[in-house]
Structure 1
Amino acid sequence: MHILFLTDNFPPEVNAPASRTFEHCVEWVKAGHRVTVITGAPNFPRGKVFGGYRNRIWQRETMAGIHVIRVWTYIAANEGFAKRTLDYLSFMVASFLSSLFVRRVDVIVGTSPQFFTVCAAYASSLFKRVPWVFELRDIWPESIRVVGAIKQNQALDLLEKVELFLYHKANAIVSVTHAFRTSLIRRGVSGDKIQVVTNGVDVSRFTPRNKDDELLQLHGLQGKFVAGYIGTHGLAHALDTVLDAAKALKTTADGNRFRFILLGDGANKAALQKRARVEGLDNIIFVDSVSKDQVVRYWSVLDASIIHLKKDELFTTVIPSKLFECMGMAIPVLHGVEGESARIVESEDVGLLFEPENPEGLVNCLRRLADDPELFARFKTNGPLGAKRYDRSSLAGVMLEILNTQAIRQRGTE
């Protein structure tokens, strides 16, 4: 089977969509299938092309047996709705045109969160007369409305009509959460075409390891209890809550034993750094995005991982993929996200929950974890055990069956 996958993010980018797509495609290649990925020059989230790449009209490479076609796009940093939309639209056009030159395709996958990529997958499927699958990673554009990235309700209403059109036209939908599936059914999409393949973790890469001594010395973390947030610093993540917690701890007698690391980039990072400087929050360390191998080193120095999203009903439907990476590396979680992901934290017994955008709750959980060695040890033990239930290779196999079913159905109608 020849799988054509359209995605706006792909390694060496290290965000969740890039990792999921790459790790799934690797497993499909191992299973004997041909996989072609159409993507852009790596630039997320800073909007600057990575070293060794150029933003060309067309370039090819092979990664782990995956045929990768990189196309020209209008590149914009992860900030500014208008410029980001131009980025998305340019990839939609370029990926569609490029897909026409990929021959003998059996099934096409288009992945969100932004669905202009999915528009290209749908258009390509019409020209090639093959089935296409909508991989649903986010309820977009509703998430834009929630974070206030765009105020024009009419524009958002139009985008939502396009969104529903694509749901109905997809031969199958692969949702990363059960809550997304429920939401689509409530909006009139047939549940028969929606299957859930959650995010997961490469358990061969994200495993327990000793703290990285070099990083401990570099950032002066010896003897400190380190809590960290690793990921995009966007509007949806409401990371001022972490700064509020750090500020509260600075005024306490024992607050000096705690340190915070915020690793990553995004639309809100500069504002967070400015606030930390102005308020003298020297217990927070900001680190720019690093490679996937380096990310694992930074995970290792954490005693607790902070997972946080803005307090809104929409975000009760998401499952941050970093949860599974924390579990695999035996890092207890301080979880400031309500809903489906919170239930996983509780059922797997891998961390503590606090109310989103509640810095006092975060501080209380941090103290409780630091002061209770038995609780800390229990969470560390349970993490890797739970991660095995979200093994990326097994989940890739489930999605492969969905793709294969669509390809077989298509052959049966010819």
Structure 2
Amino acid sequence: MAFISIIGLNYAPEPIGIGPYTQGWATSLAQRGHRVQVICGAPYYPGWSLAAGYKNRFAGRVEDGVEVLRVPHYIPARPTAARRMAHYASFAANAARAVHRQGSDFRPDAVVAIAPALLAAPVALRLARKAGALSWLHIQDFEVGAALATSLLPASLANPASRFERSAIKRFDHVSTIAPAMLDLARSKGAGAAQLHELRNWAEPGVGAAGIRPEDMRAELGLPARKIALYSGNLARKQGIDLILDTAERTRNRADLHFVVCGEGPAVTLVEQAAEALPNLHYRPLQPRSRLPELLAVADIHMLPQLPGAADLVLPSKLANMLASGRPVVTSADPGTALAREVAGCGIVVSTNDREAFANAITALADDQDRRETLGNEAKIRANERWSRTGLLDAFGDALESALQDHRQ
């Protein structure tokens, strides 16, 4: 048995984003017999507000066999570039305080840092060095590049931010990320090839299962009996939500095709206003993760917009569940990117700059049930092959345990 410390801002009960995957890793390691401690923030995502029932302060308890230590951090209601930096920095500072409070006897065998927030990576590195522990960085997205692609980071900060990112990445013993193209990017930023691991996010086991009744969810949400193009997740600039709104506007005269956006985040007001003006666009709040199988089954088509330049900086975790639901995906991603390769054969890929092509892809699938079924069947097969929860968690556990064995020798 090893003592494993995981330092990552996001954790359960956050319903989407990084939190569910960090929790999955932690609980899986605990089930393998390890002592696992997670240093994380108070839950706030994707609504950028403190979750009900939580206080933004230091607090610890055992959750599903994992020692969870929450630290306070700044939560901006409107996350501008400067406020995001303060948000990440406040978590890093208080994570360091949490480590210090545990005293000189706090000596994990392995320290795993989750990025975002990369600003907390030095905390993990210092702890690993002090304890003589294995250090491991898992990159869910390259936040510097993503911030630049979405104009959240001023160009004047690009060079210092990139230098910090490169310095952090090359100092870890092992680095993992969630897609082949992101492995290549990590390698280009200093990660050693022998210590690189592809560790994908997984599809939820119940998604796409037999016996799901989408009509019940459709009735609960008050949706019309029409073809549905669905987006569910975070509503922010990085997600390219305006592309969905533009497509709904272009097709507003089609009575047989409706667009549904379920989510929370900084762009929620924009979506609500558009839904009030467009008869074919419906906004609904983010649904509980336990209802994800029913929600995704409501869709005839899944929409996955992406901004230019972001497709190899982050592979959206929602893609796995979209594919597992057995529905085709329409995405905006440039040829050769990780996102384009994952969707090819399971949906339609259009250029990130071509709004007309995105709308045309949606309408083409809406008009062709046989094509929807063919692409949806292939999507489900691919999800089973590449995004099995059990297989991916076992792969992470095996890789970490092997690295620990080598580190001890």
TM above 0.5: yes
2:248 matched to 1:246? Answer: yes
Q: Is the 8 A contact 1:79 1:266 kept in 2?
A: no
Contact kept in structure 1, 2:13 and 2:20, CA below 8 Å: no
Any unmatched runs of 5+ in structure 2? Answer: none
Pick from 288, 293, 296: which aligns with 1:291?
288
Structure 1 residue 39 displacement after superposition: 0.8
Q: Given the superposition, is the C-alpha separation of residues 86 and 213 from structure 1 closer, same or farther in structure 2, using an over 3 Å criterion?
A: same
Query: Could you say which residue in structure 1 is the equivalent of 2:12?
Result: 11
Could you list the runs of 4 or more consecutive aligned residues of structure 1 that deviate by over 4 angstroms after TM superposition? none
Partner of 1:365: 361
Structure-to-structure mapping, 1:245-394, within 5 angstroms: 245-251=247-253, 255-277=254-276, 280-312=277-309, 314-338=310-334, 339-346=337-344, 349-389=345-385, 390-394=387-391
Shift of 1:61: 2.5
The whole-number CA distance in structure 1 between the counterparts of 2:210 and 2:323 is 9
Provide the aligned length of Structure 1 versus Structure 2: 402
**Equivalents in 2 of 1:46, 1:23: separation in Å?**
21
RMSD of aligned Cα (Å)? 2.1
Deviation (angstroms), 1:6: 1.0
**2:41 corresponds to which residue?**
40
After superposition, the Cα gap between the structure-2 partners of 1:220 and 1:75, relative to the gap in structure 1 and judged at 3 Å, is: closer
1:233 is aligned to: 235
**Corresponding residue of 2:165:** 163
SS, match of residue 273 in structure 1: helix
Is 2:74 the partner of 1:74?
yes
Pair 1:95–1:207, CA change in 2 (3 A): farther
With over 3 angstroms needed to count, the CA separation of the structure-2 counterparts of 1:140 and 1:317, relative to structure 1, is closer
Contact 2:182 2:312 in 1 (8 A): no
Residue pair 2:274, 2:281 contacting (<8 A) in 1 also: no
5+ residue gaps in structure 1?
Answer: none
Per the alignment, residue 84 of structure 2 pairs with 84
User: TM-score, structure 2 length as denominator?
Assistant: 0.91
Task: Specify which of 382, 407, 410 is matched with residue 407 of structure 2.
Answer: 410
Q: CA deviation at 1:205?
A: 5.1
Cα displacement (A) at 1:305: 0.9
Equivalent residues in 2 for 1:73-152, closer than 5 Å: 73-77=73-77, 79-100=79-100, 101=102, 103-152=106-155
CA contact (8 A) 2:247 2:358 kept: yes
CA contact (8 A) 1:40 1:71 kept: yes
Percent identity, aligned pairs only, is 20
Q: Quote how far apart the aligned CAs of 1:150 are.
A: 2.7
Partner of residue 180, structure 2: 178
Output the CA distance in 2 between the equivalents of 1:261 and 1:208: 23
Counterpart amino acid of 2:16? N
Classify 1:206/1:49 alpha carbon distance in 2 versus 1 (closer, same or farther; 3 Å).
farther
Partners of 1:206 and 1:3 lie apart in 2 by 33
Q: Distance in 1 between matches of 2:119 and 2:107?
A: 24
- SS of the residue 1:42 aligns to: coil
Amino acid at match of 1:130: A
* Amino acid corresponding to residue 352 of structure 1 in structure 2: I
Deviates more, 1:381-390 or 1:10-19: 381-390
Residues 209 and 6 (structure 1), Cα distance of their counterparts in 2 relative to 1, 3 Å cut: farther
Deviation at 1:214, TM superposition (A): 4.0
CA–CA distance in structure 1, aligned partners of residues 24 and 247 of structure 2: 35
Paired letter, 1:22? Q
**Cα distance between partner residues in 2 of 1:381 and 1:71:** 44
Structure 2 counterparts to residues 205-244 of structure 1, below 5 A: 207=209, 210-244=212-246
CA contact (8 A) 2:146 2:314 kept: no
Q: Give the TM-score, by structure 1 length.
A: 0.90
Q: Does 1:195 pair with 2:193?
A: no
Contact 1:209 1:329 in 2 (8 A): no
Question: Displacement, 1:275?
Answer: 4.3
SS state at 2:48 partner: coil
Could you say which residue in structure 1 is the equivalent of 2:53?
Answer: 52
Q: Once the 2 structures are TM-superposed, how far is the Cα of residue 169 of structure 1 from its aligned partner? A: 0.7
Cα deviation, 1:174-205, whole Å, max 9, x if unaligned, reads 12121122123334442222221122223245
Question: Please, which moves more after superposition, 85-94 or 376-385?
Answer: 376-385
Q: 1:54 to 1:206 in 2, by over 3 A?
A: farther
Q: Which residue of 2 aligns with 1:30?
A: 31
Q: Is the 8 A contact 1:241 1:358 kept in 2?
A: no
In structure 2, do the counterparts of structure 1 residues 406 and 391 end up closer, same or farther at CA, with 3 Å as the change threshold?
A: same
Taking a change above 3 Å as real, the CA distance of residues 22 and 319 of structure 1, as seen in their structure-2 partners, is: same
Gap change, CA 1:211 and 1:363, over 3 Å in 2 = farther
Secondary structure of the residue aligned to 1:9 is coil
| Alignment CA distance shift 1:206-1:110 (3 Å) | farther
Deviation at 1:156?
Answer: 2.7
Offset at residue 324 of structure 1 (A): 1.0
CA positional deviation for 1:143: 1.4
